Structure 1
Amino acid sequence: MNKLWTALLALAVSPAWAAYALSLGQPPKYPAGFQAFDYVNPNAPKGGSLSLPVAGGFDTLNPFTLKGDHESGISLTMDTLMEKSLDEPFAVYGLLAQDATLAADGLSVTFRLNPKARFHNGDPVLAKDVAASFHTLTQDKAASPVYRFYWNDVAKVETPDSRTVVFRFKQRNAELHMTLGSLPVFSHKSYPKGLAAAANRLPIGSGPYRFAKAESGRLSEYRRDPHYWAQNLPTRKGRYNFDTVRFKYYKDDSVRIEGIKGGQYDFVQENIARNWARAYPESILQKRQLSKHEWRHSNTAGMQGYVMNLRRPPFDNILVRQAMIASFDFESLNSRLFYGSYRRSNSFFTNSNMAATGKAEGDEKALLEQVGKQLPPEVLTRNVPEPPTTAAEGVRPNLLKARALLEQAGYRYHNGKLVDKQGKPLRFEFLSPGKTYERVNAKWQRDLAKIGVEMAIRTADSAVFQKRLGQFDFDMTITVYANSESPGNEQFNFFSCQAAQTQGSHNWAGVCHPAVEKILKNFEHFDNRRQLTAAARALDRVLRHQYIIVPNWFADRHRVIYRNTLGIPTTLPKYYSPTDWVLSSAWQKQ
């Protein structure tokens, strides 16, 4: 264990030292008694309103259930035990918990609650509320299984006194004491009969906003609590400044675009390159006091792409999956449709030093060698697979390669179609959440048809899409593996065998591989960031050799449009979602 990590653990785990902050792999950036985060204005005025667009709709105000289309803003009404810093790979600072102590043996963490913390009904936030929140999220059968995967290594919760909570662990877990800091805490009075009996009930929270109203799945509104208990804490100073926050839901992206030009929204993140280039004439934006901006970021981009469901044919065959990846013409799409604004995603940790490169070396190779015979030999002997390019010769050579792979998989060309031994055509359905990818899909559909593959496209509304995604009822769909600067327990939700068999998990591909199972254990137990990086690279390498996703693209900057009346902090955070940051840190100019 290196000296830095030893010193850090000594600060955080000594029974005599209750830590104001917890950090993974390096000391906390902000010292004890800091005034505010660097990426906020601690003197920001309160007042005004903020209107934001949200895709889809909602049919429940209960944010924790597996079933239903959830409303987006309920988290504003709840505080967590600790607050994550946006300037560090992984560091959390006190919120509901005024301090935390990791046991010397690493098998428990103790949170002491701030005596000033109050729920919106006036009750103090007590240890029994924290325990009830944890038990509801991890033991209630109606809850999303994401929470169970996230905190699976918690053995029990103890409340030795009214403001002390102890989480005891089944085994050492390098980040569990910190991920518990993200636990949303709600009153034990919220769901006395369980989540299923309160399918549309709001939790009783203690957050900076109170729910105000909702209008038939199209609009929700929140009002700032002027008596918010934490407004002067360092983790809240200068934040959550708008008196009113509105979420306006839309079903079609054209509605969102017209809403921007019509001045219905105060802030918008634009993810579609064509819209950014052509949809917003400067003259129209100026009339609405709006302007365009590009903000740099250091976020790990994760992996966006077309995920293939390995649970069903034809994608249970790795050769078919390889063919799909070979047939996708990113370069033409980027040039013709995206104005050259994107870079190709190539890893589950894209834009990060945790992405595997070349051949395995050093700590990564040593970890892979421990897995041994459960790995295909090419994982250790060959370079990690990179997405093919069409820049030099166009897509034709790659389509020929894809067809050869499909013939190797047992298909033969007959009357313009690839068919299997029973004469059944090679056909699959692409489940799309909307029209955003319409032109991309159409181009790929035409290219696949040239080699005899039929891709049917099914566009579903948000509720149907989420239901089918949760039930793994698709052949192929679009998704994002949203990895962070400090990957951890969420990897089990993405790639474990248990998650593959649990509806509602995020193991969309259905990955269940013995080598992956062993590598995942290294996200639970590591002593320093070097070991975590080796685990991430090893996992990335094995997954990329499984060819479970057709990689898409990413941008190294955020494209945003906002009203000139918004005050924006002068310092950008390093790792952030622009909408979340603006909601929490911007203000209305006076």
Structure 2
Amino acid sequence: MRPIPRRSFLAGAASAAAVPLLPSIAFAATPTSTKLHGLSAFGDLKYPADFLHFDYVNPDAPKGGTFNFSPPNWFFNQSTLTFNTLNSFVPRGDAPPRMEICFDSLMTGILTGPLDEPDAVYGLLAETVTLSDDRNTFEFALRPEAKFHDGTPLTAEDCAFTFKLFKKEGHPNLLLPLSEMTDAVAVDARTLRLVFSGKQSARTVLNVVSFPILSKAYFDANPFDGRGLKPLLGSGPYKVGRVVAGQAIEYERVADYWGRDLPVNRGLYNFDRIRIEFYGARQAAFEAFKKGNIFYRQEHTARVWATEYNFPAMAAGKVIKREFPAEKRPSMQAIAVNQRRERFRDRRVRQAIALCFDFEWTKRNLFYDAYERSQSSFEKSDYKAEGMPSPAELELLEPLRDKIPPEAFGEAVIQPVSDGSGRDRKLLSAASKLLAEAGWKRDGPLVANGKGESLAVEFLVEDDSLARVLTSWMENMRAIGIDATIRMVDSAQYQARQADFDFDLVMMALSFTATPTRDDMESLFHSRSANLPGARNLPGTADPAIDELIDAVGRAADRESLVTAVRALDRVLRARLDWIPNWFSANHRAAFWDMFGFKEPKPDYGFPVEAMWWFDKDKAAAIGKG
């Protein structure tokens, strides 16, 4: 999955040792003179100013060893199948996952925490932050010991440069949240001031404080264009080590990392080396795991999980197979229908395509009953709309009644349950009727419009296992006269075509933060991102009504109103059917060679094993991996 960057709203706690944690503080009531050590949405911070480490880590975890793994999620322009750039922060190209661990951010970053609070950040580069009266200006006091890997100091000038660069040229997930930033000023070497227009969401700042900070000096001498495989100068706990173009990358732990003893880092980043190998086919990666060349993987293919974890190392007890609870965050997995192409702009066409997916047959025959049907863009969370709209939801929806589908005012739209036969005649008949109503009528083996054009629908995929799952869907579409095909391309072409919106149908999976922000919504659903290359708005949604509901998400002043706004948005998204929801799993299916230590239970809001786990010499020796 490609998760979206972090956080949300503001409340806080005092950072000076002499000032106690502020109880039940609301954003509007936060004293402007207070230097805050952390920011949280809708409530108190869990950790006081003098905390020693996060509760979910082992502060005494030993350092050492190598962690060779297959990343289960990734960010920005990253890919797990290949890479052709080491710049993860530009719109184009394929970067290797986990490049973000080479960079520090103003406050805790997108990977490591805090993972036991739904909506908080704590100072990393920034020791404290102070708010202006109007909450449009944020002043950060940087830690004087912060430095880049070449030993040069990391200053407010680097921070100001980074935010201006991202606003102009960054990946959409960096660029969009900065749209209302009007200035980034280095007041002096250790003081950064970020200024916003007043049109930003109140929670925008908790997104941007997690952005990686780059070296101004480095980019004064090097282009910010993603070309080549030259490592960028970073400041984080790891730096790029050995690189085999397109095949493997190693991140080496920085022994003298300036921030290693900060409370936000203690007990984290324990491996001396993190290695990622790239395989064009999922089966090849699985074979590497079976041989012990890869040490950890999360299994995303139900058939493999059910039938193929019976290799010798499993039988010998050298490999552990288990499930970990999923995070308490909304998740989305769906097929995007590209409405930049005229034939998909009629909702009836999108609905007909959706009716051809027989989930019940797929679940039984291909998924070994391991997945459930997804219905929402905010699955597994309180943000998912259920039943009829509440009075509070109707307050948001009623002013938009003439602009949104009428289905948004009834029971929350759900995809119909099939008879499980693989070719449900009732659903396919309904799909044929919808196509006819939309002007696509049978003309021989295919349907055609008034111009004699057939209805062509192509699934774009980069994975043979996904192509296998989609085949029955494609065959049902062909049965009702849609010229449906599946095109499998290599990772580089897939990434490029997705960034340029050159596809008919494509799948995307991601998880939101536990407290979704307007910035998160904009990248996926807002008019502003509809034609921004590299944005996650794959269907090209450009609807003023959706934009208004996203603004309501941004205005939410407490968690109750946020839940209401996201549920109202969910109702309209489901009624529009820009995204066809498909399936989800309730847990992480993980397998790993028994050579690691970790603290249980896992935290509720993240699972970065490469950052939290550690190498156990005794366990490794017992299985011959010492």
Structure 1 length-normalised TM? 0.95
Residue identity in the other structure for 1:266: F
Rounded to whole Å, the distance in 2 between the matches of 1:78 and 1:455 is 44
Is the contact between residue 314 and residue 428 of structure 1 (CA under 8 Å) also seen in structure 2?
no
- 1:567 paired to 2:603: no
Q: Match for residue 528 of structure 1? A: 558
Amino acid at match of 1:15: T
Partner of 1:589: 616
State the partner residue of 2:534.
504
Offset of residue 12 of structure 1: 8.1
Q: 2-side partners of 1:374 and 1:7: how far apart?
A: 39
Instruction: Kindly indicate whether residue 116 of structure 2 is the aligned counterpart of residue 91 of structure 1.
Output: no
| Residue range with higher mean Cα deviation, 106-115 or 506-515 | 106-115
Specify the alignment match of 1:518 in structure 2.
548
From the superposition, tell whether residues 182 and 197 of structure 1 become closer, same or farther in structure 2 (CA, over 3 Å).
Answer: closer
Amino acid in the other structure paired with 1:105 = D
State the match for 1:160 in structure 2: 187
Counterpart residue number, 1:182: 210
SS of residue matched to 2:187: strand
Amino acid at match of 1:323: A
Match for 1:213: what amino acid? R
Matches within 5 A, 1:296-445: 296-380=325-409, 382-391=410-419, 395-445=424-474
Q: CA RMSD in A?
A: 2.0
1:185-233 Cα distance to aligned partner (Å, 9 max, x none):
1221121154138654332111111211201210111111111111111
- CA, structure 1 residues 402+11, in 2 after alignment: closer, same or farther (shift >3 Å)? closer
Q: Aligned partners of 1:56, 1:29: CA distance in 2, in Å? A: 38
Q: d(CA) in 1 for partners of 2:312 and 2:250?
A: 30
Pair 1:223–1:393, CA change in 2 (3 A): closer
Whole-angstrom CA distance in 2 between matches of 1:11 and 1:98: 22
Residue identity over aligned pairs, in percent, reads 32
Per the TM alignment, residue 237 of structure 1 is displaced from its structure 2 partner at its CA by: 0.5
Q: Partners in 1 of 2:227 and 2:182 — Cα distance? A: 27
Partner of 1:73: 98
- The one of 47, 69, 74 aligned to 1:52: 69
Matches within 5 A, 1:186-335: 186-192=214-220, 194-196=223-225, 200-281=229-310, 283-287=312-316, 289-335=318-364
Q: 1:16 aligns with which of 33, 36, 40?
A: 33
Q: Distance in 1 between matches of 2:28 and 2:471?
A: 56
| Structure 1 residues 197 and 465, CA gap change in structure 2 (3 angstroms) | closer
Cα distance in structure 1, aligned partners of 2:298 and 2:439:
45
Separation of aligned partners in 1, 2:415 and 2:117: 30
SS at match of 1:41: coil
Contact 2:104 2:213 in 1 (8 A): yes
1:30 alignment partner in structure 2: 47
Query: CA–CA distance in 1 between the matches of 2:467 and 2:226?
Result: 40
Rounded Cα–Cα distance in structure 1 between residues aligned with 2:359 and 2:226: 48
Residue identity in the other structure for 2:561: Q
User: Displacement, 1:375?
Assistant: 2.6
In the aligned structure 1, how far is the partner of 2:30 from the partner of 2:432? Answer: 58
Paired residue secondary structure (1:184) = coil
Cα deviations by residue, 1:544-574 (Å, 9 ceiling, x for unpaired):
1111122111111100011111111123110
> Which is worse superposed, 299-308 or 215-224?
299-308
Moved more, 336-345 or 275-284: 275-284
Structure 2 counterpart of 1:28, one-letter code: L
**Could you say which residue in structure 2 is the equivalent of 1:121?**
150
The question of whether the paired residues in 2 share the 8 Å contact of 1:208 and 1:225 is answered with yes
Residues in 1 aligned to 2:133 and 2:306: alpha-carbon distance in whole angstroms:
55
The answer to which of 364-373 and 74-83 deviates more is 364-373
Q: 1:556 aligns with which of 586, 604, 614?
A: 586
What amino acid is the match of 2:184? V
Contact 2:320 2:594 in 1 (8 A): yes
Q: Is the 8 A contact 1:136 1:194 kept in 2?
A: no
**Per the alignment, do residues 51 and 430 of structure 1 end up closer, same or farther by CA in structure 2, a change over 3 Å counting?**
same
User: Which amino acid in the other structure matches residue 407 of structure 1?
Assistant: A
Q: Which segment is superposed worse, 219-228 or 361-370?
A: 361-370
Q: Give the SS at the match of 2:275.
A: strand
Unaligned 5+ segments in structure 1 are none
Task: Give the direction of change, closer, same or farther, for the CA distance of 1:189–1:424 in structure 2 (3 Å limit).
Answer: same
Q: CA 1:10–1:322 in 2, change beyond 3 Å: closer, same or farther?
A: closer
- The structural deviation recorded for 1:536 is 0.7
Report the alpha carbon displacement of residue 282 of structure 1 after superposing the two structures with TM: 5.3
Distance 2:158 2:34 in 1: 25
SS at match of 1:383: coil
Q: Answer yes or no: is the 8 Å Cα contact 1:211–1:223 preserved in 2.
A: yes
Deviates more, 1:287-296 or 1:173-182: 287-296
Partner Cα separation in structure 1 for residue 373 and residue 444 of structure 2: 35
| Pairing 1:448–2:482 present | no
Structure-1 separation of matches of 2:580 and 2:367? 18
Distance 2:462 2:187 in 1: 48
The CA distance in 2 between the partners of 1:243 and 1:286, in whole Å, is 29
Please name the residue that 2:137 is paired with. 108
1:425 Cα deviation from its structure 2 partner: 2.2
Judge conservation of contact 1:12–1:19 (CA < 8 Å) in 2.
Answer: no
CA distance in 2, matches of 1:72, 1:449: 37
Distance 2:336 2:225 in 1: 31
Instruction: Find the aligned partners of 1:367 and 1:30 in 2 and give their Cα distance.
Output: 35
Looking at structure 2, the residues matched to 527 and 86 of structure 1 have their Cα atoms a distance apart, in angstroms, of 23
Deviations 1:477-515 (A, max 9, x none): 111253221111121111111211212111100001110
The total of aligned residue pairs comes to: 582
Please give the alpha-carbon distance, in whole angstroms, between the structure 2 residues aligned to 1:13 and 1:114.
Answer: 23
Read off the aligned partner of 1:505 and give its amino acid letter.
A
- 1:63 paired with 2:53, answer no
Residue 65 of structure 1, CA deviation: 2.0
Mapped partners of 2:117, 2:345: distance in 1: 39
Q: What SS is found at the alignment partner of 1:403? A: helix
C-alpha distance in 2 between matches for 1:589 and 1:226: 19
| 2:163 corresponding residue in structure 1 | 134
Question: Partner amino acid for 1:218?
Answer: Q
User: Which stretch of the first structure deviates more once superposed, 420-429 or 112-121?
Assistant: 420-429
